Structure 1
Amino acid sequence: MTTIISLQRRAPVFQLVALVALFVYGSATIAGFSARTSLTSMLVLASLLGLAALGQTLVLILGGLDLSVPGHIVMGAILTSQLYGTEGVSGAGAIAVVVAIAAILGAATGWICHRWRIQPLVVSLGIGSMASGATVAWTQGKLNGQAPPFLTDLTSASGTTFGIAVPPVVVIWGVLAIVVAVVLHRTVAGRRFFATGANPRAAGLARINTKKVWICVFATSAVCSALVGALLAGFAGADQTLGDPYLFSALTAVIVGGTTFMGARGDYTHTVVGALILTVLTTVLVGRGLQPADQQIIFGVLILLVVAGYGRDRRLQDRV
């Protein structure tokens, strides 16, 4: 058992087994589940969920919780569509504006939380509400813009990447996952990040600029969410409630992947597996005729089981 637990800490073994089991079950019981069109659609949905969960993963490893994810998603979707579709701004220019605003708001969240030692969930909830509310107020509730066509191409399940029948957003997600893994585990910045999440006080005494870490992490989370909003605008169009499902689903993907609220515990590669599990599980539940309310119940039970398992482990700062 000790060997299994030690292996689970290094790799998402249980999650991979669950993913394979869910896929086999879906293929055996649902017609067309393993068809190519179904697989590409699931990969696109998992990519959007995984990208939305990137920032939340970093924030949880840091020891916080980001409730601004849906607000930044709405802001990114509406601003991109309105700037391009009604204001005549180029697609690249619209995305640049979205990234700049999200980075400023995210950095402000990290700075406020670190400066006054305020719980991130309180500050992030307020900042996220401000982002989405200000965007809706600017448009006066009239969402008559459209996303740049290249965003639709990026998120299309029938899209290709360099002639290969793989949706571009899936490739982007895969490359980003590799980059994040390298940065977290093979760079000085990554070691400082994990040290801050494990014990902020000890990290500060080790001359790590913990304020900079907090600012960068929350800015990254906000930018990721806003970019997901832009992608969703090309995928399904902008809407005031577009980001609501991604708060719970992204958090569930992170927790199911193995990242918990214990600080310095988790990895984005685990979240990638968690996003795939949730996407396949949702497809199975829909194929079996379950309603959204039933799905929420199952996700809640899944979170409780995972948290109960990891909650028995000690925090890293208590083990060192």
Structure 2
Amino acid sequence: MTTTASAPGTSPGIETGTAPTAPGDRDGLLSRLGRLQSRFPVAQLFITIAAFVFGAATLNGFASPNSVKTVLILSALVALAGLGQTLVILVGGIDMSVANFLVVGAVVVTQLTVTFNMPFGVAVLVLIPTTLILGGLVGWVCHRFEVEPLVVTLAMGTFALGLVQVQTEGMIAGGAPEWLMALTSLQSTTFGLPIPPILVIWALAIVVMAVFIHRTTAGRRLLVTGANARAAQYSLVKVRRIWVVVFALSAMLAALAGIALAAFSGTVNTSIGGPYLFQSLAAVIIGGTALGGPGDYTRTVIGAVMLTVITTVLIGHGLGEGDQQILSGLIILVAMVIYGRGRKLSDRV
């Protein structure tokens, strides 16, 4: 009698074939995709590419070199405004003073340099310690008295803007010098390469932030503080110092981003930083960085690019500002729903 050869582990005479995918296998695939998304914002990157391809197919010149550089410059401004916001959100706070510190930075390098005949370098040297002190005070007050950062940052941003208005006698309206505007000009080059300097600065910021957050002791302490402040204290991490440093850096980085914003806008007024508060916060949230973590600046970068590409495509198709805000709000809600379902770091640390 002839028998059919069988594979190891199967009964003789029984033909084997490809088994249908079991529900457990599908669940395993979804679980693996979820873990991948938790490590890197794959979905946001896919949406960004899809939006860019759609724009290139439906808008004339959208994929041209100058158009791409414009989108990158706009993304850089949003992402640079979100530098400090990312750090603050990683420790579980929120910084609502970003808009006003953007204005402070822009005014100091455009108006105060003229008013007091101050060289640009000196103005920046004055700006850095001043904003560090004001931001650090916010972090100390929030942690020492357990006050919501939203309230304190709003107050400090108003105070900082008022401090500048006193120096300018209540007038905040000026123009950036041409050499500063070259920082974000499409025609500008960097070391002979057709790349605007702002993009090189942004690339350096991305590298520095990645190294700081993931490769330094201070960065790991920051992440531990955001994950579980009590556990961090038991690990001898000086939580209050982390809060002071993070809010100090947020104020300073927002003020420095204000210099780039002044270069891009060409003119400075009290409302110049308003849109970037929402956009930078949206970039952080859309990128997938949650209050207290997990997250990093790379996610903010992808969120900023995604937001800018979608907004640019919408404007190209004639959608108004209200429509853009509605869509941005929906994107943020979806992002919050997706990332809000995961376990918080405080439950894991």
- Name the CA distance, whole Å, in 2 between partners of 1:269 and 1:18: 16
Give per-residue Cα distances to partners, 1:223-260, cap 9 Å, x unaligned.
11101111212221211101100111111000110012
Q: How far off its partner does 1:205 sit? A: 1.2
Q: Partner residue of 2:284?
A: 254
Q: Partner residue of 2:269?
A: 239
Q: Are 1:120 and 2:143 counterparts?
A: no
1:10 to 34, 39, 43: 39
Q: Partner residue of 2:138?
A: 109
2:55 to 10, 14, 26: 26
Q: How far off its partner does 1:144 sit? A: 5.6
Q: Are 1:157 and 2:157 counterparts?
A: no
Give per-residue Cα distances to partners, 1:135-156, cap 9 Å, x unaligned.
2233123346543544212121
- Name the CA distance, whole Å, in 2 between partners of 1:146 and 1:83: 12
Q: Partner residue of 2:213?
A: 184
Q: Secondary structure at the match of 1:107?
A: helix
Verify the 8 A CA contact 1:77 1:226 in the aligned structure 2.
yes
Query: Please, which runs of 5 or more residues in structure 2 have no aligned partner?
Result: 1-29
Give per-residue Cα distances to partners, 1:251-303, cap 9 Å, x unaligned.
10001100122x12111001100110111111101101011111111100100
Verify the 8 A CA contact 1:58 1:221 in the aligned structure 2.
yes
Q: Which runs of 4+ in 1 moved over 3 A?
A: 143-150
1:174 to 188, 203, 207: 203
Give per-residue Cα distances to partners, 1:99-149, cap 9 Å, x unaligned.
221111111111111111111111101001111122223312334654354
Percent identical residues: 47
- Name the CA distance, whole Å, in 2 between partners of 1:213 and 1:153: 36
TM superposition score normalised by structure 2? 0.89
Q: How far off its partner does 1:158 sit? A: 1.9
Letter in 1 for 2:157: G
Verify the 8 A CA contact 1:183 1:190 in the aligned structure 2.
yes
Q: Partner residue of 2:105?
A: 76
Sort the Cα spacing of 1:186 and 1:196 in 2 relative to 1 into closer, same or farther, 3 A: same
TM superposition score normalised by structure 1? 0.97
- Name the CA distance, whole Å, in 1 between partners of 2:76 and 2:171: 29
Stretch moving more, 303-312 or 148-157:
148-157
Give per-residue Cα distances to partners, 1:22-65, cap 9 Å, x unaligned.
10000001111111111111111111110001111111111011
Aligned length: 319
Larger-gyration structure (1/2): 2
- Name the CA distance, whole Å, in 1 between partners of 2:63 and 2:70: 11
Cα RMSD of the aligned pairs, angstroms, is 1.2
Q: Partner residue of 1:63?
A: 92
Verify the 8 A CA contact 1:154 1:169 in the aligned structure 2.
yes
Q: Which has the higher helix share?
A: 1
